Chains A and B, each alone.
Chain A
C-alpha cells in the first residue's frame, strides 16, 4: 500500500487471483483485503460468496468523495436513505440526528457497529451517523435484511459495520480541510509497527458555523457545532497464535442552540454536549488449524446533556441529561471441522444502565444470548448457512431468531442467492421506562410500558387530574420485541469479457408486534397521556439492482436503483373494507380511499437511483469522482387522519443530489482535493435539514511516512 500514490487515500484494487476462490480458512491476519466482508457471517469471506445482500464501501471511495462524516458516504449508496430529525433547535434541536433507512426500515431497526461492536447513544431511536468521522475508516460493510440470528436486537433492516484502520508497517499522515460555513476539519494518524506490537493513533477535530436554510427566522437550520474524535488501537501479538487488539475511541461534540420562543419572543440560548467513549479489548487465540476462539469485551458510555436558558432572566428553560452505559462480554469460537463444514458458535452477556431526567430512576437491564451458525458446502457449487440465536431478557419476552441463507454458483459468471431471516427489535428504553411530562402549559405526558400504572391513572382520575381514562389504558402490559420475517432472493452476473457485474435482489419483510405510542387518558386540561403497546404490523418489499464496472484503466463506475413499497397491514385491510377516508386537498371534503391512493409508510421514497463515476490516473496523480443520487418524493405528514400521504401537501419533494470532487497528488506526498457538493442546490429546510445548499471544501492530505 505504501507504494501507492496517495497512500492512505487510495487502497489497492482487489487482487484478481482472489476472485471466485474460497477464502483460506486461516484468515486471522489477512483482514486488509478490500473484497472481504466480515459482517455477513461473523468471519472473513469473499464478497462474492456472501449469501445475503452485502455492500462494501472501500476507503478509496470514501477518500475520493471528499466526505467528512459517515452520513455523507452512506447517503450515496443504493437503497440507503438518510433521515433527519428536525434541524431547528426550536423544536428539538436536531436531537435525533441523521440515521439511515435500509430496505424501508427506519433507523431504529438498523444496527450500527464499529469494529463489530454496537454503537450506543440513540436519540428517539436514531443513532446520529454524523457523529462518526470517516478519517479512520478502512471500509464500511452494509448487510441488508435481517441478521438478528447473528447480532440480536435491531438487526432487522440491516447492519452497518464500520471497520477502522488496521495494518502493518509504519505510516503517518494528516490532513486539513476547509470550506463553506467555515467548516474546518483536521485529522492525523500514526501507525507504528514494532514486530509484536502495532500502535495506531488517530485524531480528528471538526468545527462548523452550521447553516441557515431559512434566513428570515431567528434560528439557524443547523447550529454551530464542534467535535473531536480520538482513537487508539493497539495490537499485541503474543505469538503466531494469540493476539490482543485493544481499541479505544473517544468522541466529544458540542452544539450551540439559539432560538426565539413564539409565545413571548424571549430568546433562548444554550448548548448540547454529546460524549461517546468506547473501549474494546479483543483477545483471539488460534488453538489449532481448525479451531479459533476469541474473547470480546466491550464497554461504551454515552452521555447527552442539553442546557437551555432564557436570555432575559437567565433562568433555565430546559435541561436534559441522558446517560447510557453498555457493557458486553462475548465469546465466539470458529471451528472448521472438515472441508465442508465451518461452524461459528458463541454466547455473551449485555448489560445496560440508563439514567436520565426523563426516567423515574436509574434503569438496569441484563441480557444473555447464544448463537450458532454452520457454513455448509455440500458441493463446490452450493453453500448453505443455517443459523440460530436465542436472546434472554429481563424486562420483556425472550426471542428465538433463525436464519437460513444459501448460494448456488453454477459457473464463475452466475450466482444465485436466497435467504430467510427473522429479525427482532427489543423494546427500547423510552418504550419501557419513559416517564415524561412536557413542561409546556398544555403538556402531554408519556409513560413507558414498564412505568405505566392503571392504578396511578385511576388515582389521578379520582383527584380530578385526569378527565377520562381511555379503553386502551387497560390493554397496556408487558411489551414483546418487534419481530420481522425477511426474505431476500437475488442473482448476480459477471460478464467475463467486460468484467461488468450486475447484481439483482428482491426483498420482502413482514413486521409484526410493532410498538407504537397511543393515547391512554385525557388530562383535565385536555392534554393527552400516552403509553406504548405492541399493535401494528407492516411490510416492506422491493427490488434493487446494482451494476458496476470499469472503463479502460482509469475509470470505475457504478449505478444502482431501488424500488420500494411499504405498508401498514391494518391500513391496507381497512382500505379493503372501504373504511379509510382522506381528502384530495387540504380543507377539501373527505372521500373513500382506495389502494391507488395508498402510498405506504411515511418517510419512504418508492424510487431511488444512484450513479458514481471515479477516475484515477495514478501515475500523474490525478483523480476525481462524480456522484448523483435521486430520491423520489416521500410522505412526511398526515393531514387528514388516515395515517398516510395522499395529498400533494403531505409529501416532501423528490430531489437529485449531485456531488463532485477532484484531487491531485504532488510528489507522492501531498494531495490536494476540491469537492463541490449539492451542485443543483436543492434545499428543503423542513424535510431535508441535513442537506445544506451548494457548498465547497478544499482539502490537503499529507503522507509523512509511507
Chain B
C-alpha cells in the first residue's frame, strides 16, 4: 500500500569480494558446473558510456576492440543488454528471458530467441529489475533466467545474483554516496558442445 519505499536501498551485499573471474560453484549438482562471474559497468546511463563485453566460454570480459567479432556473448551498459546478433554484432547471438528457478531449467528452449533490432533490443530494459525512482537504485528480480544463444551459436543460461553500486576501485558504496560503477554478479551455465542441454 505504501507508494514509495523511502526506507533503504541495497544494503551492503554480502557477496564475496574479488569474484572478478571464474569460480566453481561446488553446491551445483548438475553435470555442467555453474560458474559465477562479475561484470563491472559504468554507472553512467549516458549513451556515450562504453559497453562492457562478456564471453561465457572464458567467463570473463572481452576487450571492446573485439566488438566486431563473434567472441563475445552479451554486452552491458548501465542496464542495457546487447546480444551478439542483429544490429549489435556479427555473431549468431540471441536471447530470451524466462521466469523460473535457474537449476530447474535443464534445456534451453528451441526457439523464441530474439535478436537486437534498432530500437527493439532482444532483452528489453526494465523487465528484469526493480527500479526505485527515489533512490535511483535498482535490484535484479529473483527468478529471471537469461537464456543466450552465444556469438558462436552455443547456449548458456544466466541469472543475475546482485548488482552492487561501487566506486572506481570496486568498493561498495552506500547512499548518499553515488556509485561510479555497477558490479553485476552473475551465475551461469555454458554448454560448449552446441546442444541445448544444461
* B134 CB contacts on chain A under 8 angstroms: 91-92
Question: Distance (Å) between the CB of A416 and the closest chain B CB?
Answer: 31
Whether A641 contacts B7 by the Cβ 8 Å rule is no
Q: Are B7 and A636 in contact (CB under 8 A)?
A: yes
Q: B residues within 8 Å of A by Cβ?
A: 1-11, 13-15, 45-47, 78-80, 99-103, 119, 124-126, 129-131, 133-136, 139-144, 159, 161-162, 175-178, 185, 187
Q: Which residues of A contact B141 (CB under 8 A)?
A: 581, 640-642
- Contact call A638/B143, Cβ cutoff below 8 A: no
Q: In whole angstroms, how far apart are the Cα atoms of A586 and B172 in the complex?
A: 14
A90 interface hit (Cβ, 8 Å): yes
- Which of the segments A104-112, A335-343, A452-460 contacts the partner chain? A104-112
CB-defined interface of A592-622 with B at 8 Å, one 1/0 digit per residue? Answer: 1000000001110000000000000000000
The answer to whether A106 and B7 touch across the interface, beta carbons within 8 angstroms, is no
CB <8 Å contact, B159 and A589: yes
Q: Which residues of A contact B139 (CB under 8 A)?
A: 638-641
Determine if A528 and B7 form an interchain contact, defined as CB atoms under 8 angstroms apart. Answer: no
Contacts of A386 in B (CB 8 A): none
Chain A's nearest CB lies how many Å from the CB of B30? 12
Select from chain B the residue with minimum beta-carbon distance to A442. Answer: B45
Known contacts A519-B126, A526-B79, A587-B13, A261 near B176 by CB under 8 Å: yes
Given A586-B162, A587-B162, A106:B130 Cβ within 8 A: no
**Cα distance, A125 to B3, chains bound together (Å):** 9
- Whole-angstrom distance between the alpha carbons of A577 and B124 in the complex? 25
Given contacts A517-B3, A530-B133, A587-B185, 15 further A-B contacts (CB under 8 A): A108-B1, A260-B176, A446-B133, A470-B126, A511-B1, A519-B131, A581-B99, A585-B14, A592-B101, A601-B1, A603-B2, A639-B139, A640-B142, A641-B140, A652-B7
A442 and B143 within 8 A (CB): no
- One of A90, A217, A590 near B142 (C-beta < 8 A): A590
Residues of B within 8 A of A307 (CB): none
Residue of B nearest to A536 (CB): B1
- A614-649: which residues lie under 8 A (CB-CB) from chain B? 636-642, 649
Asked whether any CB of chain B lies closer than 8 Å to the CB of A394, the reply is: no
Pairs across A and B, CB under 8 Å, 29 listed: A90-B175, A105-B1, A108-B1, A109-B1, A260-B176, A262-B175, A467-B119, A468-B124, A516-B3, A525-B45, A526-B78, A527-B45, A528-B126, A528-B131, A579-B99, A581-B143, A582-B143, A586-B15, A586-B162, A587-B14, A590-B144, A592-B143, A601-B2, A602-B2, A637-B8, A640-B139, A641-B140, A641-B141, A642-B141
- Distance in angstroms from A196 CB to nearest chain B CB is 49
A565 within 8 A of B: no
Alpha-carbon gap, A174 to B160, bound state (A) = 63
Question: Given A649-B11, A687-B8, does the pair A106, B2 have CB atoms closer than 8 Å?
Answer: yes
How does the 8 Å CB contact mask read for A66-85 relative to B, with 1 for contact and 0 for none? 00000000000000000001
Indicate which residue in A124, A638, A639 contacts B3 across the interface (CB closer than 8 Å): A124
When A and B form their complex, which 10 residue pairs have the shortest distance between CB atoms, in order from nearest?
A581-B143, A641-B141, A590-B142, A587-B15, A262-B176, A640-B142, A444-B133, A587-B162, A581-B142, A636-B7
Q: How many residues of A contact B (CB 8 A)?
A: 65
Taking the complex as formed, is A40 at the interface, i.e. its CB lies under 8 A from any CB of chain B? no
List residues of A (477-516) whose CB comes within 8 Å of B's CBs: 511, 514, 516
Query: Do the beta carbons of A602 and B3 come within 8 Å of each other?
Result: no
**Cα distance A622–B177 when bound, in Å?**
52
A186–B10 alpha-carbon span in the complex (Å)? 42
| Option from A108, A440, A586 in Cβ contact (under 8 Å) with B13 | A586
Q: Are B101 and A590 in contact (CB under 8 A)?
A: yes
A96 interface hit (Cβ, 8 Å): yes
- Report how far A517 CA is from B134 CA in the complex, Å: 13
**Interchain CB contact under 8 A, A642 and B176:** no
Q: How far is the CA of A91 from the CA of B177 in the complex (A)?
A: 12
Q: Do B6 and A589 have beta carbons less than 8 Å apart?
A: no
Q: Is A239 an interface residue (CB 8 A)?
A: no
A519 to B130, CA, bound (A): 11
A468 to B80, CA, bound (A): 13
Q: Which of B78, B125, B142 contacts A582 (CB 8 A)?
A: B142
B10 cross-chain contacts in A, Cβ below 8 A: 639
Residue of B nearest to A579 (CB): B99
A517 to B11, CA, bound (A): 24
A27 to B74: give the CA distance in the assembly, Å.
77
Among B4, B125, B140, B176, residue most surrounded by chain A Cβ atoms (within 10 Å): B176
**Does A288 reach chain B (CB closer than 8 Å)?**
no
Q: For residue A585, which residues in chain B have a CB less than 8 angstroms away from its CB? A: 14
Tell me if A291 counts as interface (CB < 8 A to partner B): no
Assess the A262–B13 pair: CB atoms within 8 A.
no
Give A548-598 interface residues, CB cut-off 8 Å to B. Answer: 579-583, 585-592
From A96, A467, A590, A601, give the contact of B6 (CB < 8 A).
Answer: A96
Min CB distance A103 to B, Å, is: 12
**A residues within 8 A CB of B102?**
589-590
CB distance from A687 to the nearest CB of B (A): 6
- The chain B residue with its CB closest to the CB of A639 is B139
Q: Which chain B positions have C-beta within 8 A of A470? A: 126
Q: Closest CB of chain A to B187's CB: distance in Å? A: 6
Q: A125-B3, A526-B78 are in contact. Are A590 and B8 (CB under 8 A)?
A: no
